[in-house]
Amino acid sequence: MLWNLIKAETYRATRLKSVYILPVFLLCMTFIVGMVVMRMDVLSALGYTEQDIEELGEMGNSIEGFQRSFEVGFNTGMDMGRDAAEEGESTVSMSSFWGIGICYYDDVVEIFHQNMESLDQLIYVAIFAGIFFGDIFATGLDKNLIITAKHRWTLFGARIIVFGTYVMILHILRFLFSALTLLLMGDRLWWNIDGAAVAYFFLTYFLTLAFGVLLCSFCYVCRSKAATITVGVILASGALTIALSLGNYIINRAFHTSFRIENYIPSQNLSILSPVCEGETVLRSIIVGAVYFAVSYITALAVSKKRDIG
């Protein structure tokens, strides 16, 4: 029965227009991220001088990436001109926004990392989750599948498998699109795919899937396509940052700790992770992903089994 249900759900998914539209947005966003990190001379654009960078460094600012970008921008001799200024001072004015960005010389794994860090992929996953699971309740689809009346876990499992497959397809596409942007905008197409890179690929997939299953669970509870997409987009867009900061502040004031709520949220873990992360960060991400996945899965399954259909 599971295989039949997977085929039915796959067919249903392939009839959704969003399945084909979302990768187009993914491609566009990958190109935008690629332009920002590979072709935008950020520091020069912001008008920083070499002296500014040194001073910022002395003040304890973490500006390694910026400094590198700055050097790249300067060393390439872009269309920057030193304006006439008062004696002893010099300023840099930007005459071109484009140049060599911070990831111009990086490999495809780093470009993929920069893309995943932007978290926009979670928005596409949220939209797909809302439509894919929301349609079940909007149409009353399960009323047609009486064969699953005593096998709701099988039906739910089939849906999660199809959903997870699509999330994996988006993930693979993101990697391929990253390679394409590197080819078009970077120094050269190259990669350093070691164990850490592979682990990063699968761990980011797992966190993305956990985020998606969380939304699936929400959809099974509220039975609303619009509400699921709205919540998903809010969570994915980082709109809760202020609330999280406030939460951190209250907790840390109350308990005198350095607790950070975002460390225990899949989307935030996704932005923290990198291919060169330390073991503790990786382990925490695995645990967070596993806990969210398990709790969301069980909640959605319990709701689907307990509630009447239709």
Q: Which residues bind another protein (CB under 8 A)?
A: 4-5, 7-8, 11-12, 15, 17, 135, 139-151, 308-310
Residues 43/70, Cβ–Cβ less than 8 Å? yes
Minimal distance, residue 27 CB to another protein, in Å: 24
Q: How far is residue 91 from each of residues 39, 81, 88, measured CA to CA in Å?
A: 23, 9, 10
Minimal distance, residue 246 CB to another protein, in Å: 37
HSE (side-chain half, CA atoms, 13 Å) at 57? 14
Minimal distance, residue 35 CB to another protein, in Å: 35
Residue 146 or 254: the one with the smaller Cβ distance to another protein is 146
Residue 15 or 253: the one with the smaller Cβ distance to another protein is 15
Q: What's the token pair of residue 231?
A: 């919540």
Torsion-angle region of residue 41: left (phi > 0), alpha (psi -120 to 50) or beta? Answer: beta
Measured CA to CA, the distance from residue 23 to residue 301 in angstroms comes to 29
Minimal distance, residue 129 CB to another protein, in Å: 17
Residue 150 or 253: the one with the smaller Cβ distance to another protein is 150
Which of 189, 187, 165, 169 minimizes the C-alpha distance to 178?
189
Residue 8 or 261: the one with the smaller Cβ distance to another protein is 8
Measured CA to CA, the distance from residue 310 to residue 304 in angstroms comes to 11
Minimal distance, residue 130 CB to another protein, in Å: 15
Residue 146 or 242: the one with the smaller Cβ distance to another protein is 146
Residue 7 or 82: the one with the smaller Cβ distance to another protein is 7
Measured CA to CA, the distance from residue 223 to residue 308 in angstroms comes to 12
Torsion-angle region of residue 236: left (phi > 0), alpha (psi -120 to 50) or beta? Answer: alpha
Minimal distance, residue 69 CB to another protein, in Å: 47
